[in-house]
Structure 1
Amino acid sequence: MVLEFEGKHIYALLHLPAGEVRNAPAVLLGPGMDMIKEDYIYAAERYYTSRGMVALSIEGPGQGESRAGGLTVDLTNYERAISRYIDFLTDLTGVDAERIGMFGISMGGYWGLRAAATDERLGALASFEGVTGDFETIFHRAQPTFKNNYMYMSGYVDERRFDTELAGRMPLGDLVTRITCPVLMGIGEFDELTRLEQALACYEHIHAPKQMRVYENEFHPLGGTAAEVFRFGSEWLEQTLVGRWREPGRDERHYVHDDGRTTDGTAQPAWWLGRTPREITEAATAES
């Protein structure tokens, strides 16, 4: 499907459950930086339409067909594109407009947090591997393909202009304090694009009902827990969109061990020795 968006077009795949769709919850499936809408075909069918949910796998500005059509990403137009997709779902026959959520991976998790802070129609957000740190790590310390790719997505050829005009303005900061819907965040403890202490600091700024899951010995792709991430995220969204998990002040934190056990009540690795994210950040700054 194709939607008009700010003089250009955005593209998505609509996945419908079998039979007549009535008052169904709907979920946007947000891709990572270098993903496309087709990457979600299997997940949409296995985890969403099989449960009677409508799924919309999307491409935003700078991605896939949208970028091929000349639409680049800037600081805020991706969340506006998400709002445009929400417009589409609210008008779609059979969808309950009060039960629309989002599942986002990597940059999709980042854009999902921005959308949740700016569009109250989003009823729940599951954000895994979201880039929630200072963007120094992803653009200046990680492999250069991330920065090169994002410069192409945003239409920049001058690296200095990209750094000052876009990258330097991308950290979420206090924006997440505006989120009112329940949020699930998940990240590997050794994520190479967002340091864990920064992800936890971002999580602390969210005042809505929230849950954090930190996965032992996992890096950014969460490859060893992919099945867990997709299954748990879909089940959490399903429960949240039917009205559960919405108690004000709810805050659940889990450290998920690589053998499947969880340490509940905290998402901090044992090797942190009880230090807070702020103390970890200050120690890392001092060492550098």
Structure 2
Amino acid sequence: MTGTPSPSPSLPDLSFLDLSFLDHPALLPAFVEENRPRATGAGLDPHEYTRVTALLRSLHEWPEACRAAGRRHLTAADRAAAEGRTVSAGEAYEAAARWFHAAGLLPHPDRAAAAEAAVEADEAMRRALAHLDPAAERVEGGSFAGWLRRPTGVAHPPVALVVPGMDSGKEEFHAVAGALLARGTAVLAMDGPGQGVLAATSAPEPDYHRVVGRVIDALTAHGGVDTDRVGVIGLSLGGYYAVTAAAHEPRIRATAVVSGPYRLDWDALVPFVTATLTQRCGTPEAARAFAARVDMTGLAPAVTGPLLVVEGGEDRIPGVTNADVLADRAPHAELLLVPHGNHLLGNALADWLPAAADWLTARLGTPSAR
């Protein structure tokens, strides 16, 4: 496993961006509650989440509160590692990575701090895997970075790419990676352009299939996994990226989309989303142009392989047309609808994740785990 990239030394000047909505008194409790299922679905302890967020007086304090929680776990991890308690150290480093990642969920004006938190998350995850899965390997190129993990006892396994979304990164979806590994599939949890550790040095890429193509090339050269059996699971905006890849990249055998956007309407999006996209893209014009590209209408007929669309019935975001439409328009699509699920279905993991992992495993031709 290799070292960790550093934040960009020259982040774009976005002082023009109006983030006054962060000061709205009703937004703090709404943001905390809206992100509670996402945080717990990502593996944060729900009681700790309550303790950390209860102390917030403003959303401006969110990033530092999350980083402080990450540093507490980092201290515990260092202590456990020094005492030879390998599993405890790995679990604490993993918890630190989750908290550092959570610090970046907000379109906060301090983008340098957000870049630092992403690097902290990446480094904490490296240290976690060194203790919990020493065989994990860094696979990276100019437009992607991720951790390749292989299932125990499976020779030359197929591989699934776990693709994050707008404000997400590879440290968020531990449960997804774990479910696939347990079923005999290797996993590359990745950051692409504008995501995770690469957010400070790149903008989101609507032609994400080019990124996925380079990832598959890198995995083929790397060896140890079967790149004739590649699956992709994309979450939130990552669902659009996954469909783009499936429509253009013939090496993808099966695709799953979780809470993906079928289409975005810029003028109807809430300020939280437009501000986040503007920060990630660099200018309002670039963000608007990117949002206009997020449209699966022309892609759906081209996704000729197996496709699973996972949707939550309570997932309603202004300006976002949900991907359940895709299930009617792609040739070989299936819909898994969880009526009580919210965005990313962190409040309903048991209702979709085992079924989705089984579905993807079967399409990749993987025997179930031991």
TM-score by length of 2: 0.57
The structure whose residues are more often helix, as a share, is 2
Letter of the 1:124 counterpart: A
Check whether the contact 1:31–1:107 (CA below 8 A) recurs between aligned residues: yes
In structure 2, the residue matched to 1:236 is 359
In structure 2, the residue matched to 1:202 is 326
Equivalent of 1:35 in 161, 168, 184: 168
Give the SS at the match of 2:344: coil
In 2: Cα distance, 1:108 partner to 1:143 partner = 19
How big is the shift at 1:161? 5.3
Q: How does 1:8-157 map to 2 (within 5 A)?
A: 9-19=143-153, 21-44=154-177, 46-68=178-200, 70-76=201-207, 78-133=208-263, 135-136=264-265, 139-156=266-283
In 1: Cα distance, 2:320 partner to 2:328 partner = 12
In 2: Cα distance, 1:22 partner to 1:222 partner = 32
Letter of the 1:71 counterpart: S
Give the SS at the match of 1:221: helix
Q: CA RMSD in A?
A: 2.4
Letter of the 2:325 counterpart: A
In 2: Cα distance, 1:105 partner to 1:53 partner = 18
Check whether the contact 1:117–1:175 (CA below 8 A) recurs between aligned residues: yes
In structure 1, the residue matched to 2:116 is none
**Bigger Cα displacement from structure 2, 123-132 vs 212-221:** 212-221
Check whether the contact 1:110–1:130 (CA below 8 A) recurs between aligned residues: yes
How big is the shift at 1:93? 2.5
Letter of the 1:49 counterpart: L
In structure 2, the residue matched to 1:253 is none
Letter of the 2:309 counterpart: M
Give the SS at the match of 1:123: strand
Letter of the 1:101 counterpart: G
Aligned pair count?
Answer: 230
In 2: Cα distance, 1:54 partner to 1:86 partner = 13
The structure whose residues are more often strand, as a share, is 1
Q: Percent identity?
A: 28
Unaligned stretches of 5+ residues in structure 2? 1-137
Unaligned stretches of 5+ residues in structure 1? 245-288
Matched, 1:226 2:349: yes
Equivalent of 2:335 in 206, 212, 220: 212
In 1: Cα distance, 2:308 partner to 2:286 partner = 34
Check whether the contact 1:26–1:89 (CA below 8 A) recurs between aligned residues: no
Structure 2 CA distance for partners of 1:53 and 1:194, relative to 1, 3 Å: farther
Structure 2 CA distance for partners of 1:229 and 1:109, relative to 1, 3 Å: same
Check whether the contact 2:161–2:188 (CA below 8 A) recurs between aligned residues: yes
In 2: Cα distance, 1:52 partner to 1:190 partner = 32
TM-score by length of 1: 0.72
